[in-house]
C-alpha cells in the first residue's frame, strides 16, 4: 500500500548543528490518516515543504513508526505556485464557491504558469509512484492538491490500484466553467483515471459525476465515505491534565454563563463573520440573553501566505471587537476570541458547550461537527450548516442553519439556547449514536475496497 498526500506525517526542522529534527506533521488529514497507516508497513509519500523537509528528502526513504516515509523534493518556487495559486487560490475557491466573480479568478499568464507548476508537482508524485510502487500495490491519493496523479499511473502502471479521495466539496458543471476548458478537462481526466474517486458526501460525488458527464462525456466510478473522529484519540485528550486545566480556564471566563462555541481555522469557507453577525442579532433581538451567554470563538490562523486570508483575519478581529464594544459590560465580554491553536482548550470547550455553531458556507465534511457531540457532556445542541458534508449524516439530530441567513442563524441560536432539557438530551443521544456509527478505520477500509474492486 502507498499513501500519497501533500502534507506528510513527519515534518523536519534543521537544528543549529545542521542536524534534522523530525516532528509529527500538521493538519487534520495527517492526524486522521497517521494512526491508520502506522504499523502497516505502507509507504507514505508527501511533498517536502520546509527546508528541513527538503534536506530529509535527499536522504531517501525514512523508516518511521511501522511505515516508510518518502518526502519528495520539489523546487520551492514551483511548489509555492502550485500550492498558493492553484490548490488554494483556485481549486479551493472553486469547489467552495468562494470566488468574488467581478475580480476572481483571473486566468492570466501567471495563472497559466501556476497551472504548469501544479501539473509538475503532480507529475513528481506520479513519477515516484511509477518508479517505486511495488507491483500491484494499492495507492491512496489524498485531496485536491494531487488530482492529476492518476493520469500518468493509468498510462504507465496499469498494475497499480489507485483511488483518489477529495476532502473538500466538489463544484458542479456551471462553476467548473470558470476554469479554462483545457484545465477543466485535464483535472477531470486526472481524477477519472483513478479506479474510483471518493468523497465525504453524496452531494460532492454527484457534482463530480455531473462534471465528468458534461465535460468528458463519461460516467466515472465514485464512492461516498465520510470520515469520522478517532474516539480513543480525543478521549485521551479529554482525560488529560492539560484539558482539565483548560476547563478551569474556560470556567473562569464563562462565570456560569451559557456557551455558544465555534472551533475552526480562520478560513474563508468557515463563515466566521456571519456567525458574529448572527450573535449580534441575537443580542439585539433577544435582550434577555445579554450578559447571560458568551460566544467562544476558538479559531486559529491558516494559510497566511494568501492575501485574502490575511484580510479575512483582520475582518474577523475587527468584527469581534465591534460586537464586544456594542454589548460588552464591565463584567461581560460577549465574544471570547481566542486564536491560540490550543487543542486541549478546544477539547475542553467542546465538552462544555451549550450550543455548537458549525456554519460553513460550504465544507467537505467538517469533523468538529462530529467531535463536538462525541465529547460534549452538557447535552449541547448542534447548530449545523446544511452546506457541510456532515449534514447528510447528522441532519436528523442537528438544528439546520442556512449559513447565508444571518437572521435565521440568530433564530436557530435562540431556539437552541431556550431548548428544554428533555429535547437537548434526546438530540444529544441521537447525535452521539449517529457519530458513533463510523470510525476512521471504516473510511480507510472503504478506500481500500474501492481500489481493489473488480475493474
Which residues of the chain form contacts with ligand G6P (CB under 6 A)? Answer: 7, 27-29, 88, 143, 167-168, 302-303, 364
Q: Assess contact for 1 and 163: CB atoms under 8 A.
A: no
Distance in angstroms (rounded) separating the CA atoms of residues 374 and 25: 25
- Give 170 or 279: the residue with its C-beta nearer to ligand G6P: 170
- Give 388 or 412: the residue with its C-beta nearer to ligand G6P: 388
What is the phi/psi pair of residue 152, to 5°? -80, -30
Helix, strand counts (H, E) of the chain: 19, 16
Q: How many residues does the chain have?
A: 455
Give me the least distance between CB of 365 and ligand G6P, in Å please. 7
Give me the least distance between CB of 49 and ligand G6P, in Å please. 9
Distance in angstroms (rounded) separating the CA atoms of residues 266 and 121: 27
- Give 313 or 427: the residue with its C-beta nearer to ligand G6P: 313
Give me the least distance between CB of 92 and ligand G6P, in Å please. 8
Q: Angle of helix 307-327 relative to helix 272-285, nearest 10 degrees? A: 10
**Residue tagged 481493489 (cell numbers):** 452
Collapsing DSSP to helix, strand or coil, 356 comes out as: strand
Residue 139, Cβ density class (10 Å: 0-12 exposed, 13-18 middle, ≥19 buried): buried
For ligand G6P, the nearest residue by Cβ is 167
Taking only Cα atoms into account, the Rg of the chain, rounded to an integer number of angstroms, comes to 22
Q: Assess contact for 122 and 154: CB atoms under 8 A.
A: no
DSSP H stretches of helix in 286-405: 307-327, 343-352, 368-375, 391-394
Q: Assess contact for 201 and 224: CB atoms under 8 A.
A: yes
- Give 145 or 352: the residue with its C-beta nearer to ligand G6P: 145
Give me the least distance between CB of 296 and ligand G6P, in Å please. 21
Give me the least distance between CB of 194 and ligand G6P, in Å please. 17
Give me the least distance between CB of 435 and ligand G6P, in Å please. 18
Give me the least distance between CB of 242 and ligand G6P, in Å please. 23
Positive or negative, the CA dihedral 390, 3, 38, 241 is negative
Distance in angstroms (rounded) separating the CA atoms of residues 379 and 389: 23
Residue 340, Cβ density class (10 Å: 0-12 exposed, 13-18 middle, ≥19 buried): exposed
Give me the least distance between CB of 79 and ligand G6P, in Å please. 12
The DSSP 8-state label assigned to residue 47 in this structure reads E
Whole-number Cα distances in Å, 123 to 49, 65, 148: 16, 27, 8
Give me the least distance between CB of 28 and ligand G6P, in Å please. 5
Give me the least distance between CB of 94 and ligand G6P, in Å please. 14
- Give 91 or 260: the residue with its C-beta nearer to ligand G6P: 91
- Give 99 or 332: the residue with its C-beta nearer to ligand G6P: 99
Return all residues near 277 (Cβ < 8 A) that are at least 6 apart: 319, 406
CB atoms within 10 A of CB 169: 29
- Give 306 or 375: the residue with its C-beta nearer to ligand G6P: 306
Q: Assess contact for 358 and 369: CB atoms under 8 A.
A: yes
- Give 27 or 97: the residue with its C-beta nearer to ligand G6P: 27
- Give 2 or 29: the residue with its C-beta nearer to ligand G6P: 29
- Give 169 or 275: the residue with its C-beta nearer to ligand G6P: 169
Amino acid at each position: 500500500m502507498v499513501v500519497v498526500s501533500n502534507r506528510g506525517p513527519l515534518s523536519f526542522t534543521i537544528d543549529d548543528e545542521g542536524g534534522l529534527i523530525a516532528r509529527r506533521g500538521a493538519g487534520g488529514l495527517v492526524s486522521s490518516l497517521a494512526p491508520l497507516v502506522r504499523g502497516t508497513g505502507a509507504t507514505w509519500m508527501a511533498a517536502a515543504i520546509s527546508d528541513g523537509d527538503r534536506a530529509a528528502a535527499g536522504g531517501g526513504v525514512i523508516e518511521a513508526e511501522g511505515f516508510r516515509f518518502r518526502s519528495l523534493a520539489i523546487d520551492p518556487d514551483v511548489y509555492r505556485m502550485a500550492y498558493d495559486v492553484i490548490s488554494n487560490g483556485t481549486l479551493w475557491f472553486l469547489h467552495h464557491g468562494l470566488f468574488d466573480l467581478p475580480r476572481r479568478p483571473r486566468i492570466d499568464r501567471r495563472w497559466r504558469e501556476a497551472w504548469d507548476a501544479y501539473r509538475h508537482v503532480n507529475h513528481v508524485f506520479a513519477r515516484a509512484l511509477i518508479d517505486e510502487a511495488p507491483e500491484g500495490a494499492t495507492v491512496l491519493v489524498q485531496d485536491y492538491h494531487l488530482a492529476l496523479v492518476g493520469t500518468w499511473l493509468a498510462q504507465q502502471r496499469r498494475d497499480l490500484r489507485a483511488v483518489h479521495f477529495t476532502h473538500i466539496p466538489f463544484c458542479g458543471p456551471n462553476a467548473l466553467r470558470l476554469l479554462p476548458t483545457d484545465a477543466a478537462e485535464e483535472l477531470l481526466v486526472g481524477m477519472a483515471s483513478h479506479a474510483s474517486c471518493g468523497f465525504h458526501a453524496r452531494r460532492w460525488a454527484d457534482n463530480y459525476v455531473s462534471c465528468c458527464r458534461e465535460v468528458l462525456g463519461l460516467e466515472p466510478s465514485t464512492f461516498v465515505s465520510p470520515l469520522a473522529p478517532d474516539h480513543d484519540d480525543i478521549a485521551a485528550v479529554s482525560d488529560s491534565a492539560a484539558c482539565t486545566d483548560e476547563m478551569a480556564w474556560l470556567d473562569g471566563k464563562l462565570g456560569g454563563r451559557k456557551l455558544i462555541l465555534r472551533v475552526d481555522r480562520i478560513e474563508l469557507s468557515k463563515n466566521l463573520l456571519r456567525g458574529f453577525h448572527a450573535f449580534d442579532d441575537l443580542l439585539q433581538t433577544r435582550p434577555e440573553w445579554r450578559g447571560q451567554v458568551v460566544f467562544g470563538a476558538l479559531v486559529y490562523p491558516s494559510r497566511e501566505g494568501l492575501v485574502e486570508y490575511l484580510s479575512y483575519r483582520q475582518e474577523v478581529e475587527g468584527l469581534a471587537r465591534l460586537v464586544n464594544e456594542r454589548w460588552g459590560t464591565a463584567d461581560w465580554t460577549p465574544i471570547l476570541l481566542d486564536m491560540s491553536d490550543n487543542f486541549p482548550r478546544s477539547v475542553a470547550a467542546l465538552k462544555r458547550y451549550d450550543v455548537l455553531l458549525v456554519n460553513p458556507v460550504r465544507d467537505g465534511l467538517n469533523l468538529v461537527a462530529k467531535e463536538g457531540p462525541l465529547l460534549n457532556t452538557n447535552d449541547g445542541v448542534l447548530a449545523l450548516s446544511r452546506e457541510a458534508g456532515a449534514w447528510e449524516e447528522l441532519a436528523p439530530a442537528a438544528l439546520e442553519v442556512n449559513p447565508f441567513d444571518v437572521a435565521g442563524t440568530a433564530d436557530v441560536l435562540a431556539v437552541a439556547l431556550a431548548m428544554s432539557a428533555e429535547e437537548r438530551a434526546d438530540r444529544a443521544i441521537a447525535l452521539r449514536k449517529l457519530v458513533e456509527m463510523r470510525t476512521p478505520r471504516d473510511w480507510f477500509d472503504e478506500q481500500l475496497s474501492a481500489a481493489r474492486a473488480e475493474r
